[in-house]
Amino acid sequence: MAGERQWGVTPAFSNDLPTARDHKLHDALVAELKAQNNFPPSSDSEKRDAILAKLKTLLRQMVQSVGRKRGLPQGILDVAGGEVFTYGSYRLGVHGPNSDVDTLLVAPKHVSRDDFFDLMPDLIRQSVPPGEITELVPVRDSSVPIIKLCIQGVDIDLIFSNLQQSSIPDKMDLSDDNLLRGLDETDRRCVNGTRVTNRILQLVPQSKTFRVALRAIKLWAQRRAIYGNIVGFPGGVAYAILVARVCQLYPKAVAPLIVQKFFFITRVWHWPRPVFLQLKENTSLSLREWDPAKYRGDALHLMPILTPAVPSTNTAHTICRSTKHVMMAELQRGEDLATEIYTNNKPWSTLFQRHQFFTEAYKHYICVNTAARTKDAQDKWSGLVQSKIKWLVTGIENSGAKSVELVHPYNKGFDRVHVCNDEDQITKAKDGSVDYQAKDIATTTTDQASDIKTQLAAQSATDGVEMTADAGEEVVEKQETVNGDAEWPQKIYTTTYYLGIGLVKGAKDLDISQPVRNFSSDCTVWPGYDVNLHSINIKHIRNFDLPADVFVDGEIRPVKQKKKVKPATNGTDNASNKRSFQDSGLDDSAASTKRRQSGNTPTTSEHTNGAAG
């Protein structure tokens, strides 16, 4: 139709108005999302708005305090200002009841990041009654330095940037690229979260449709365990950009059609052709942007999904061959179900059914067991190892292991606490045994863990910046826990990451010893690694040996199949099959069981804590 606005870089595929059927499916989708507890109550929004207003007041107090300390004239302080911005799921309007509020504080140039970390924690503590703050953890040594705050039950991820100007007015527009001048890479990272989120909202035809569709896609991705760039899947921003692009192609559609078309378009897209929401902007700023013609690393990206703000970057740079393969299979499943929902009245709940990663998907798994003798040490160590899981996946992919079809990393780790009475039990716990797991401390998954150091260790390394160990703090803990006179029992903290191994049909061997050794070496060269404090053990496990806490109520655990009795032979085939996994470079769980019975090495038990994610 003449005069229709073009959204995005190409004309729309369809400008058709929604049908009565579309509206009916929309109501059903919203009802299902509400049934899945996907929307926050209105009281939550009011509480979060009040907290953001308080943070703005505290920010301006800090700006004034630092300005007076630096001797700035009162005329400058009167207009210095300071503003609070949000980004991520909260700014996009797709946050859930327990979502963090990603918050950016912007100050004028006379306030530094050191001022923020030196002053803001105390300002926050002094501003609320005792007991309203349950967490306040400043973390400076991250690619995006942050204060993790929980106030009145609301989780706030607080980051900071100053701009190279003397005044930050109310409701300042961060879209001007010139605001990036003079900022270092850390400040640009902080500011660009808000810039990207705001730009996405500006580039979609109908924000309400976009939000409902994005809620559905995020819930689908989380339930199917294909969410999180740390282990090689798209993250929240990448999914938002993909949904926004489909909205541009169907500008008048309602959410159910956007969801259906999302699966089809993303699956048949000519990857590695990039997805972007607007043409590349001309800028005089000399900033590195995604450019496969200029940067060899960019040319290797398999599913480029580009941010719509300068500098444009690929939000899906961690996707590898295996995770892309898993994505394509899940997109096909989603497309098939969405079609049935449209044509055969299948309920939306079928789209959001839990994955089958542990129940049916694989017969063989790699377990990456990380451990430390203190919680703080384990938080940082396990986060760092998690960030490198993708390198283990690509290492196996590129190792020439012809028997391996794909390596599928589960997108969460399992945190456990063990109570050990001697060093032998500690060794077994570090090796993956759950025989000594604390009965009164439930297993949690890494998405449930609130410790900011775990999250930032993982995210920092994914961004190419590794956290450093806290010197002093580590030393004290090591003296308390490694001292030979330490009292028993002692707690050991572990996190286990699982990777499903898809074998080529008929494969009888699995030699991945070299990529496993390389991965272990890559982890232990971390400057904060201490052989007396940390450990990493990698082993092979069968599906029927998986611990009980990776399953949820109602799931059927795999059981060991009884072998059919065959005519007697010289035993060559059977012996060869046993050797095939012993030669993989990993400890095989079946062999471990036998050795455990002789007191040599542990295996997992069936202790249940119900933590499966």
- Report, as residue numbers or ranges, the catalytic residues: 89, 100, 102, 157, 218, 227
Cβ count within 10 A of residue 445: 18
Residue 565 labelled as part of a binding site: no
Is 218 flagged in the annotation as binding? yes
- Burial state string for 180-189 with b = 16 or more CB within 10 A and e = fewer than 16: beebeebbbb
3-state SS, 353-407, equals CCCCHHHHHCCEEEEEEEEECCHHHHHHHHHHHHHHHHHHHHHHHCCCCCCEEEE
376 is in an annotated binding site: no
d(C-alpha 223, C-alpha 234), whole Å: 14
Distances (CA, A) of 290 to 40, 281, 340: 36, 12, 38
φ and ψ at residue 555, rounded to 5 degrees: -80, 145
Strands 154-162 and 444-445: unpaired
257-260's contacts with Cβ under 8 Å and 24+ in sequence apart are 257/18, 257/22, 258/209, 258/210, 258/213, 259/29, 259/213, 259/216, 259/217, 259/338, 259/351, 260/335, 260/338, 260/339, 260/341, 260/342
270: left (phi over 0), alpha (psi -120 to 50) or beta: beta
141 is in an annotated binding site: no
**3-class DSSP state of 105:** strand
What are the Cα distances from residue 74, in Å, to 71, 109, 406?
Answer: 9, 16, 64
Upstream peptide bond of 272 is cis (omega within 30 degrees of 0): yes
326 is in an annotated binding site: no
Q: Is 227 helix (H, G, I), strand (E, B) or coil?
A: coil
Is 157 flagged in the annotation as binding? yes
288, 189 Cβ separation under 8 angstroms: no
Structure tokens at 162: 């100053």
Backbone φ and ψ of 301, nearest 5°: -65, 135
Cβ neighbours for 421, distance < 8 A, ≥ 6 positions apart: 436, 488, 489
Q: What does each C-alpha distance from 426 to 20, 442, 492 come to in angstroms? A: 63, 19, 7
Residue 237 annotated in ligand binding: yes
3-state SS, residue 250: coil
Name every residue whose Cβ is closer than 8 Å to that of residue 53 and which is 6 or more positions away in sequence. none
> Binding site for Mg(2+): which residues?
100, 102, 157
> Binding site: which residues?
100-102, 157, 218, 227, 236-237
> Binding site for ATP: which residues?
100-102, 157, 218, 227, 236-237
